[in-house]
Structure 1
């Protein structure tokens, strides 16, 4: 049996919020051997979160789509080193993964990349640190004004 993971994810997509889908499912791939479906996750946190919060949803979606049950395992993408006859990187899988990374929206190509999110997070953290410095300066000035006012009394 062959599973098109992109189709499975598309069936899951409307059942959860968009941010949850993009955070937890977009960067996953799968490998099926016998009735064991291994979902490869980009990091340990994603693996643990998917297993504890979405395993049942994945299980039920697969059962509904394929009228059979699968044992579901979650592993890190770094554990994808299988022997050549277990290779999951078929052209179809690769194009599905690329389809997840590149999306056409309003006729413009958008690259969904974790690095972009990390850059945004770093930029926001810098802005917050700068605001904290400004607030600290303002508090110092306010304290100085209050002290001056008390001394004048």
Structure 2
């Protein structure tokens, strides 16, 4: 999909830099013959995360860039996953328990980052307010 970079640019403006760099920067997107947009993530974990937290934003951004609504399928390089599917197929040599533990740790860290980002934004607002009241 030649407009994928435009989709990513729209998304980048709407989420934190850390989230964009972590989850979306390394993705690619293409329009298939059956008019479905396939988003390719670098791995199955990233695809799962995108599916859970960013499908709606990706779909909306595609529609804004292209002017058309497309179904979205998100896949990892070692995974097949539809946006309407709840089944993930991991490669056979991947230890499922390690995957679950790693997934939980990444989710916890991401939540902490988001919480810190909200704190930073609040502090920046307070600083701006204080600066506007300051008499020089």
Structure 2 length normalisation: TM-score?
A: 0.53
Alpha-carbon shift at residue 31 of structure 1 (Å):
2.1
Q: Could you tell me which runs of 5 or more consecutive residues in structure 1 were left unpaired when the two chains were aligned.
A: 80-153
Structure 1 Cα separation of the partners of residues 46 and 60 of structure 2: 20
Instruction: Look up the SS of the partner of 1:31 in the other structure.
Output: strand
Structure 1 match to 2:112: none
Alpha-carbon shift at residue 53 of structure 1 (Å):
0.4
Determine if contact 1:35/1:69 at 8 Å carries over to the other structure. Answer: no
Structure 2 match to 1:8: 7
Alpha-carbon shift at residue 25 of structure 1 (Å):
0.6
Instruction: Look up the SS of the partner of 2:65 in the other structure.
Output: helix
Instruction: Look up the SS of the partner of 2:47 in the other structure.
Output: helix
Alpha-carbon shift at residue 77 of structure 1 (Å):
2.6
Q: What aligned pairs does 1:75-90 form with structure 2 within 5 A after superposition?
A: 75-78=75-78
Alpha-carbon shift at residue 44 of structure 1 (Å):
1.3
Structure 2 match to 1:24: 23
Instruction: Look up the SS of the partner of 1:58 in the other structure.
Output: helix
How well do the aligned residues superpose, as a CA RMSD in angstroms?
1.8
Which has the higher Rg, Structure 1 or Structure 2? 1
Structure with greater strand percent: 1
Shift >4 Å, 4+ stretches:
none
Q: What aligned pairs does 1:57-136 form with structure 2 within 5 A after superposition?
A: 57-78=57-78
1:57-81 deviation digits (Å, cap 9, x = unpaired): 01111111212111100112357xx
Structure 2 Cα separation of the partners of residues 67 and 30 of structure 1: 16
Instruction: Look up the SS of the partner of 1:47 in the other structure.
Output: helix
Structure 1 Cα separation of the partners of residues 66 and 25 of structure 2: 21
Structure 2 Cα separation of the partners of residues 40 and 63 of structure 1: 18
Q: Count matched residues.
A: 79
Instruction: Look up the SS of the partner of 1:15 in the other structure.
Output: coil
Structure 2 match to 1:114: none
Structure 1 length normalisation: TM-score?
A: 0.48
